[in-house]
């Protein structure tokens, strides 16, 4: 199980309005059966940009090559992503295509920060994600705590919210709602 360090999480997932020096995207994921009363994680872990390939695309390649082959096409599965940045327009476009061809999958995307949301193409493709059935939301305190507990080498420490986390969440959420 690959975990990220506390320092990496605090630096890359801090939901700042302007996040200087944060060029990498971290994607923490969980795959569960959709219709289970108490969903058990079938797969979970962390992806990061690698060799100029965005974390979302790294996940899609991995999922297609390693996971889809062992999942039953007759069962429904839920994929949840906790991301340091929302998808760029190109990644969102590829995710839309992926979801369009895999009707037994649902995708929830929680992002700490919105990437390039003034760009009309980015806005359009975020809307397309929702139209294709993805749930897209800003990370709130609950998601940060869940991410900390499951994906961070936290040494048994509880998540300590940074200053302005809730204010920054409200800003990210309102911007996202304007777009959607």
Residue 56 is a catalytic residue: yes
Nearest to 4 by CA among 55, 53, 66, 42: 55
pLDDT digits (tens, 9 = 90+) for 28-79: 999 988 776 666 678 899 999 998 899 999 999 999 888 877 777 788 889 9
Tens-digit pLDDT profile for residues 140-179: 999 999 999 999 999 999 999 999 999 999 999 999 999 9
Domain residue spans of the chain: 6-14+21-178
Q: What is the sign, positive or negative, of the torsion defined by CA atoms of 50, 155, 86, 110?
A: positive
User: Considering the entire predicted model, what is its pTM?
Assistant: 0.92
Tell me the pLDDT tens digit for each residue of 114-134.
Answer: 988 888 998 998 999 999 999
**How is domain 6-14+21-178 classified at the architecture level of CATH?**
3-Layer(aba) Sandwich (3.40)
CA dist 72 to 68, 102, 107, 116, 136, Å? 8, 12, 17, 37, 25
Identify the active-site residue in 20, 30, 56, 90.
56
């Amino acid at each position: 199980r690959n975990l990220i360090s506390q320092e990496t999480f605090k630096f890359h997932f801090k939901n700042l309005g302007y996040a200087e020096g944060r060029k990498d995207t971290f994607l923490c994921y969980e795959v569960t059966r959709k219709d289970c009363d108490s969903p058990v994680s079938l797969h979970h872990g962390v992806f990061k940009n690698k060799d100029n390939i965005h974390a979302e695309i790294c996940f899609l390649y991995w999922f297609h090559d390693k996971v889809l082959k062992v999942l039953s096409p007759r069962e429904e599965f839920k994929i949840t992503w906790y991301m340091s940045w929302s998808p760029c327009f190109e990644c969102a476009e590829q995710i839309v295509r992926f979801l369009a061809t895999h009707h037994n999958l649902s995708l929830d995307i929680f992002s700490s920060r919105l990437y390039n949301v003034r760009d009309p193409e980015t806005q359009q493709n975020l809307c397309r994600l929702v139209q294709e059935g993805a749930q897209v939301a800003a990370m709130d305190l609950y998601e940060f705590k869940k991410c900390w507990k499951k994906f961070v080498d936290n040494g048994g420490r509880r998540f300590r919210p940074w200053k302005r986390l809730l204010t920054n969440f409200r800003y990210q959420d309102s911007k996202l709602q304007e777009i959607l």
